[in-house]
Amino acid sequence: MAGIFGSLFGGKFPDTGKYETEQNQLLEDYRRFNEIETSSLLQRYQELDREIHSGDFEKRVADLKHKKFKDTEEFKQLERFKLLNKSKDIKTYLKFNSSGKAKKMEDTLASERYHRYRELDNFVNSSEFFKEKSSPDFKKSDANHKYKEFKRLRKERSVKWAVKTEKSSPYQIYKRLEGSDRITEFYSLQGMVESSDFKKFKAGMEDKHRFRKSEEAALINEFEELKKQKDIVWYHKTKEEKPFEELKKWKITFEDNFDSASLDSNKWITGYYWGKALMNDTYALEGEHQIFREENIDLRDSSLRIRVQPQATKGKVWSATYGFREKEFEYTSGMISTGQSFRQQYGRFEAKVRFNSTFPVVNAFWMVGERMTPHIDIFKTIYPGGRIIEAGIISDIQGKGITESTKKVNGTKFSNNYFIYSFDWSENEMVWRINGKEIYRQTHNVPQVPMYLSFSSTLPESPDEKQLPAEMEVDWVKCYQRI
DSSP string, 80-129: HHHHHHH-HHHHHHHHHHHTTHHHHHHHHHTSHHHHHHHHHHHHHTSHHH
- The CB-based long-range contact list for 143-150 (8 Å cut-off, 24+ gap) reads 146/120, 147/120, 149/116, 149/120, 150/117, 150/120, 150/121, 150/123, 150/124
Q: Using the 3D structure, point to which of 146, 171, 205 is the last residue of a domain.
A: 205
Q: Among 139, 170, 205, which residue terminates a domain?
A: 205
Q: Is 390 helix (H, G, I), strand (E, B) or coil?
A: strand
- Asked if residue 193 and residue 335 are part of one domain, the reply reads no
Residues forming a β-bridge with 187: none
Give me the amino acid identity at 439. Answer: I
The three-class DSSP label of residue 309 is strand
Q: What is the pLDDT of residue 462?
A: 93
3-state DSSP assignment of residue 450? coil
Same domain, residue pair 133 and 267: no
One domain for residues 291 and 438: yes
Residue 234 falls inside a structural domain? no
Examine the domain organization and report whether 288 and 421 are in the same domain.
yes
Single-letter amino acid code for the residue at 175: K
Q: In Å, what is the CA distance from 183 to each residue of 94, 116, 169, 284?
A: 10, 32, 17, 112
Q: Would residue 356 count as lying in a domain?
A: yes
Note every long-range contact of 406-410, with CB atoms under 8 Å and residues 24 or more positions apart, other chains counting: 406/377, 407/432, 407/439, 407/440, 408/383, 409/379, 409/434, 409/439, 409/440
List, run by run, the mean pLDDT of 10-residue segments along the chain (483 residues): 35 87 95 96 97 96 94 95 96 95 93 92 89 86 88 91 93 95 95 95 94 96 96 96 94 97 96 90 94 96 97 93 92 97 98 96 97 95 94 86 91 94 97 96 95 97 92 98 95
Please tell me the distance from the alpha carbon of residue 481 to that of residue 483, in angstroms, as a whole number: 6
Domain annotation covers residue 39: no
Instruction: Decide: helix, strand or coil at residue 440.
Output: strand
The reported pLDDT for the residue numbered 6 is: 35
**pLDDT by residue (tens digit) across 106-143?**
999 999 999 999 998 898 898 988 888 888 888 888 98
**How would you class 201 by CB atoms within 10 Å of its CB: exposed for 0-12, middle for 13-18, buried for 19 or more?**
middle
Contact (CB, 8 A) for 348 and 424: yes
C-alpha span between 12 and 433 (Å, rounded):
12
d(CA 403, CA 415): 28
Q: Are 159 and 114 in contact (CB under 8 A)?
A: yes
The verdict on 321 and 421 lying in the same domain is: yes
Residue 151 pairs in a beta bridge with none
Q: How far apart are CA 81 and CA 185, in angstroms?
A: 9
**pLDDT score recorded for residue 399:** 67
The rounded distance, in Å, linking the Cα atoms of 91 and 83 is 11
One domain, residues 265 and 178: no
Phi/psi-derived region of residue 385, left when phi > 0, alpha when psi is between -120 and 50, beta in every other case: left
The Cα–Cα gap between 358 and 215 comes to 73
Based on the domain organization, do 287 and 406 belong to the same domain? yes
Domain stops at, among 205, 236, 269: 205
Q: Looking at the whole model, is its pTM more than 0.75? A: no
Q: Based on the domain organization, do 273 and 403 belong to the same domain?
A: yes
Q: Sort 104 into a burial class: Cβ within 10 Å, 0-12 / 13-18 / 19+.
A: middle
Q: What is the pLDDT of residue 11?
A: 43
Whether 261 and 158 map to the same domain: the answer is no
Give yes or no: residues 155 and 289 share one domain.
Answer: no
Q: Which domain holds residue 124?
A: 72-205
DSSP 271: S
195 and 100 fall within a common domain: yes
Q: Based on the structure, what is the number of domains in the chain?
A: 2
Q: Where are the alpha helices (DSSP H) in 296-411?
A: none
Cα separation, 461 vs 331, whole angstroms: 11
CATH number for the domain that contains residue 304: 2.60.120.200
Q: Where are the beta strands (DSSP E) in 334-399?
A: 335-337, 347-355, 362-368, 375-380, 389-397
Shared domain check, 259 and 199: no
Enumerate residues 6+ apart whose C-beta is below 8 A from 35.
none
